Amino acid sequence: MSAKTYLVVSDSHGQTGRLSSVLMHAEALGKMDGVIHLGDGYSDLDPFAAAFPETIRVKGNCDGAPLSETTLVCGVSGVRILLTHGHPFYVRQGTDTLLFKALQENCRAALFGHTHIPYLKEKNGVLLLNPGAAMEGRFALLKVFENGALDAALY
Beta strands, E only, the chain: 3-9, 34-37, 55-57, 71-76, 79-84, 109-111, 119-123, 126-130, 140-145, 150-154
Phi, psi for 16 (deg, rounded to 5): -65, -30
- The enclosing domain of 28 has a CATH number of 3.60.21.10
Amino acid at 46: D
Phi, psi for 8 (deg, rounded to 5): -115, 120
- The tally of domains found in the chain comes to 1
Are the beta carbons of 107 and 73 closer than 8 angstroms?
yes
- Supply the pTM of this predicted model: 0.96
**Which residues have C-beta within 8 Å of that of residue 40, sequence separation ≥ 6?**
10, 11, 12, 13, 60, 61, 62, 63, 85, 113, 114
Phi, psi for 76 (deg, rounded to 5): -110, 105
Q: What is the pLDDT of residue 117?
A: 98
pLDDT tens-digit map of 9-33: 999 999 999 999 999 999 999 999 9
In the chain (155 residues long), the average pLDDT of successive 10-residue segments reads 94 97 96 96 95 94 92 93 97 98 98 98 98 98 96 98
Task: Residue 84: give the domain boundaries.
Answer: 3-154
Amino acid at 33: D
